[in-house]
Homo-oligomer: A and B are copies of this chain.
Amino acid sequence: DRIERDLRSFADDETVVINVASTEPLPNFNERYHADIEGFEEMIDRDERKFATASMLYAYVALRLGLPYGNFTPSVGSSLPALKQLAIEKGVPHAGNDGKTGETLVKTTLAPMFAYRNLKILGWMSYNILGDYDGKVLSHSENKESKVISKDKVLEGVMGYSPYTITEINFFPSLVDNKTAFDFIHFKGFLGTTMKFYFIWDGIDAIVAAPLILDIARFLLFAKKRGVSGVVREMAFFFKSPMETDILNTHEQYVMLRDWFERLAEV
């Protein structure tokens, strides 16, 4: 396997693999090839390309080599049951999916406020325009799908109900590496009175993402050294669609991460 050779060629004990490639189209879940590691390896042996994506294969190789794996994209990565099983068997920690950088970070920080104060969210619209390559890829609807789903589930997870939502991602070339998100929140308070909240995020995805990627690598390596294996759900803080947890509230995620780190650091 070529990926394995590549990785072996430079990987050492301190190496962590993080997926920062562009978003892939969402594959259909396949019971035979995705459910357990035997099926997954059969898929590779038979070269069943239509069931495999690049992110799965990289995750597979990383975990097999005992390298912690982080998935910074909404692609499938290590989230298949087969690969979760492999991570446990190999004793390797992994985390994902989809780095929580801009608009979703704000959303999961702000939405809890409406919940705490019993202000009902009637609707939330999120318009994202991106000038970089990511925007170009996401402007193709197949690839966009996994991103939009990842963004939409977030609000339901925080609020406990499904507000009406609109999420659009558009390519806007003149922004270059800049990303602008515009959100509008319509909410209802006491006596049914409706009120409005707007925000504009004028940031640079790469600049917000870079330190997260470094932190993910450091926390995964730390986890490996402390003997953690399988999904590190306490790293939900970094992701839009964290694996094996329904804690999406940024504040709760931060407390969970901090407590987990302090607990392990003391050991």
Contact = CB atoms under 8 A, between A and B. Distances in A.
A106 B170 CA distance: 22
A9 interface: no
Nearest to A198: B200
A202 B210 contact: no
Interface in A173-190: 173-175, 180, 182, 184, 186, 188-190
Contacts of A119: 208
Interface string A85-115: 0000000000000000000011001101100
A174 B122 contact: yes
Given A125-B129, A127-B168, A189 B174 contact: no
A157 to B, nearest CB: 16
B196 A202 contact: yes
Interface string A116-138: 11110011010101000000000
Contact of A202 (B117, B168, B189, B197): B197
B211 A190 contact: yes
Nearest to A115: B254
A199 interface: yes
A11 interface: no
Contacts of A202: 195-198, 202
A118 B43 CA distance: 43
Q: So how many copies of this chain end up in the complex? A: 4
A123 B135 CA distance: 15
A29 interface: no
Interface in A196-229: 196-204, 207-208, 210-212
A129 B172 contact: no
Interface string A121-162: 011010101000000000000000000000000000000000
Contacts of A204: 189, 193, 195
Interface in A219-261: 237, 249-252, 254-255
Given A168-B168, A172-B186, A197 B201 contact: yes
A168 B168 CA distance: 9
A45 B164 CA distance: 47
Interface of A: 105-106, 109-110, 112-113, 116-119, 122-123, 125, 127, 129, 164, 166, 168, 170, 172-175, 180, 182, 184, 186, 188-191, 193-204, 207-208, 210-212, 237, 249-252, 254-255
